[in-house]
Amino acid sequence: MVREEVASLAATERVCLIAFNDNATVVFDGPAAKQDEIDRVLSLLKPEGGTRLADALQRATELALESSDPQVSVVVVTDGLAQEEHSRAAAEVLAARASIIDVILIDPTPKGRPSRGRSRCADA
């Protein structure tokens, strides 16, 4: 699903991938045209460890604030097992800057299936 999101972008649009488990780390930051590199990075990501969603949202906020683009979109892929209070607070800060926040909820079990939600932020 993330690959499809990236493939729909213009080649010059900036893509930042933040992997998060016990840490939140920027694993890719570059143009959407680097699809092969993005695919390679995505293939290395595994759902394991903790779910430091708040840290990832804080990092996304930092990157969004650095951007001069008036429309910032964020796609969050998570197992939903994060600490809700911290994640909610971080999401509210991000929503002040991001125009769109997509959430893809995954179940990392063998029978797991993804589901998707979208939030449009008012006048961000």
Q: CATH number, domain at 24?
A: 3.40.50.410
φ, ψ dihedrals at 28, nearest 5°? -155, 140
**Number of structural domains the chain divides into:** 1
Instruction: For residue 42, give its domain range.
Output: 2-120
Mean residue pLDDT across the chain: 83
pLDDT, tens digit (0-9, with 9 covering 90-100), for 24-60 = 899 999 999 999 999 999 999 887 778 889 999 999 9
Between 62 and 120, residue with greater pLDDT: 62
Closest CA to 42 of 67, 15, 60: 15
Reduced to 3 states (helix: H, G, I; strand: E, B; else coil), residue 39 is: helix
**Tokens of residue 30, six digits:** 């570059």
Give the Cα separation of 51 and 66 in Å (integer). Answer: 25
**Scanning the structure block, which residue is given the tokens 């143009």?**
31
Instruction: Indicate the pLDDT class of residue 75, thresholds 50, 70 and 90.
Output: confident
The pLDDT of residue 112 is 56
pTM of the full predicted structure?
0.77
